């Protein structure tokens, strides 16, 4: 019998194209925040009134935060070299994704966004282009830049700029993985400091995840990393520069070798890499984060057939425990902007992790259950992360991030929570 209730691929494609094209092209626009109904209004908005804030900023550069939108404005910037899972399709093709990122910033944290798709001939040119934009923005969100160039780009811009620079594909993913893993291990009666972890896919997201987990207490001797060439070990030739620090002294050479006796598996790689036999070789009460999209390293239905003591997460919304970056990047930027942070530190990321993990352990508001059409929802094997529509995210996460910014000495001002608009 044919299932007529689910749209076929062509219907889904057309629906997506219509969404982006109608009733007007694109997903974002400019909003005016001041009155413009009279001649006096226009005289204040532009000439001659605009001369007064110009003079004030020239006399005191800090006045820019008072008289312009810079303090709530983030640039979402890409070179189009790693668009979603579609690869290097160039800056022009990346524009729908960057607009989409702007939608999420605005919807979840009321942050205004300008998307910038940069056609740069090489990495130094891209870095120089972005660096010169600093006077315009309160923060820079790098997006869809392929590894290893993304590491060089972020490091150079963080050093050169006096505003937060954040590559969400790296750090947003890492924060959500770390928060989910914290809670999954807790439910399994384990601790990160003691857990044996295998990670597959040592690109941008995988590398940032490992760095964050190591900062949080993961022991390097309990870590094995696997890429296309097998286990990253000290005897391998021609390792990428960013892989050297993860090279292990081990006899394991394949993923099958690596997962034997492991407590946790994190996949940020490709479909169907973790077999049923590999999963069976892990220790009691394992944790599996199979995050390849759209098809995970192992399907949840397969995994649960093999192990009834498993906690599992994917990157998909149609399974429990979706690892979704929207839980992090709007709120970490909101906290950074609201204390005018100069950069985003490791402690700010860890504060975000801890606040997310703690929130998932609290009772779920009725409004969240209603949004997801569920009668019950609570901390457990199928709920290790908050839901994106949880109204407590905007209350908790930015404040935790700002506190860490003050502790690290990178905040310019006391934290002042941004007044969020009411939603119907």
Active site residue 349: no
Cβ atoms 255, 226 nearer than 8 A: yes
Active site residue 415: no
341/363 Cα distance (integer angstroms)? 32
Query: CB under 8 Å, gap of 24 or more: what pairs does 313-317 form?
Result: 313/180, 313/184, 313/288, 313/289, 313/384, 313/385, 314/289, 314/290, 315/291
Query: CB under 8 Å, gap of 24 or more: what pairs does 87-90 form?
Result: 88/146, 90/119
Nearest to 418 by CA among 19, 87, 109, 20: 109
Q: What is the DSSP letter of 135?
A: G
Token pair 């439910």 is found at 187
Nearest to 384 by CA among 141, 163, 101, 176: 176
Cβ atoms 328, 176 nearer than 8 A: yes
Which listed residue (19, 101, 349, 387) is catalytic? Answer: 101
Residue 275, preceding bond cis, omega within 30 degrees? no
Spell out a b/e string for 60-87, using b for 16 or more CB atoms within 10 Å of the CB, else e.
Answer: eeeebbeeeebbbbbbbbbbbbbbeeee
Burial classification of residue 9, based on how many CB atoms lie within 10 Å of its CB (0-12 exposed, 13-18 middle, 19 or more buried) = exposed
Determine the distance from the C-alpha atom of residue 122 to the mean position of all C-alpha atoms in its chain, rounded to a whole number.
25
Neighbours of 228 (CB within 10 A): 9
Alpha helices by DSSP H, listed for 194-299, are 204-216, 255-259, 276-280
Q: Is 407 helix (H, G, I), strand (E, B) or coil?
A: helix
DSSP per-residue string spanning 14-70: HHHHHHHHSSSSSS------S--SSHHHHHHHSTTTTHHHHHHHHH-GGGHHHHSGG
Which residues are identified as catalytic? 46, 101
């Amino acid at each position: 019998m044919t299932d007529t209730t689910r749209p076929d691929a062509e219907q889904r494609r057309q629906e997506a194209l219509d969404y982006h094209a109608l009733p007007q092209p694109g997903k974002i626009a400019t909003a005016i925040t001041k009155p413009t109904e009279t001649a006096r209004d226009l005289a204040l908005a532009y000439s001659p009134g605009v001369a007064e804030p110009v003079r004030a900023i020239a006399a005191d550069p800090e006045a820019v935060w008072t008289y312009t939108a810079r303090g709530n404005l983030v640039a979402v910037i890409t070179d189009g070299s790693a668009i979603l899972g579609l690869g290097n399709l160039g800056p022009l093709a990346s524009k729908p994704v960057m607009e989409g990122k702007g939608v999420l910033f605005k919807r979840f944290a009321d942050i205004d966004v300008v998307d910038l798709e940069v056609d740069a001939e090489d990495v130094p040119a891209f870095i120089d282009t972005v660096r010169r934009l600093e006077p315009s923005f309160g923060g820079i969100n790098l997006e869809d830049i392929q590894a290893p160039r993304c590491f060089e780009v972020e490091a150079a811009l963080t050093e050169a700029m006096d505003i937060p620079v954040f590559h969400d594909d790296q750090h947003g993913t890492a924060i959500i993985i770390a928060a989910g893993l914290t809670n999954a291990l807790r439910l399994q009666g384990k601790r990160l400091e003691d857990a044996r972890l295998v990670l597959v896919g040592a690109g941008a997201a995988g590398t940032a995840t490992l760095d964050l987990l190591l900062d949080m207490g993961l022991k390097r001797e309990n870590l094995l990393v696997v890429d296309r060439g097998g286990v990253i070990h000290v005897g391998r030739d021609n390792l990428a520069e960013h892989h050297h620090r993860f090279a292990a002294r081990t006899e394991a050479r394949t993923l099958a070798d690596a997962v034997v006796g492991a407590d946790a598996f994190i996949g940020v790689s490709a479909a169907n890499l973790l077999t049923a036999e590999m999963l069976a070789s892990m220790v009691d009460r394992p944790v599996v984060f199979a995050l390849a999209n759209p098809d995970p390293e192992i399907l949840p239905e397969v995994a649960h057939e093999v192990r009834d003591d498993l906690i599992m997460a994917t990157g998909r919304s149609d399974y429990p425990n979706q690892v979704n970056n929207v839980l992090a990047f709007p709120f970490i930027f909101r906290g950074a902007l609201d204390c005018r942070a100069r950069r985003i530190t490791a402690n700010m990321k860890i504060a975000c992790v801890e606040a997310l993990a703690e929130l998932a352990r609290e009772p779920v508001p009725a409004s969240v259950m209603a949004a997801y059409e569920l009668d019950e929802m609570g901390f457990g094997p199928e709920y290790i992360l908050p839901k994106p529509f949880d109204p407590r995210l905007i209350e908790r996460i930015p404040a935790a991030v700002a506190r860490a910014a003050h502790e690290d000495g990178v905040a310019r001002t006391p934290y002042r929570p941004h007044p969020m608009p009411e939603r119907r």
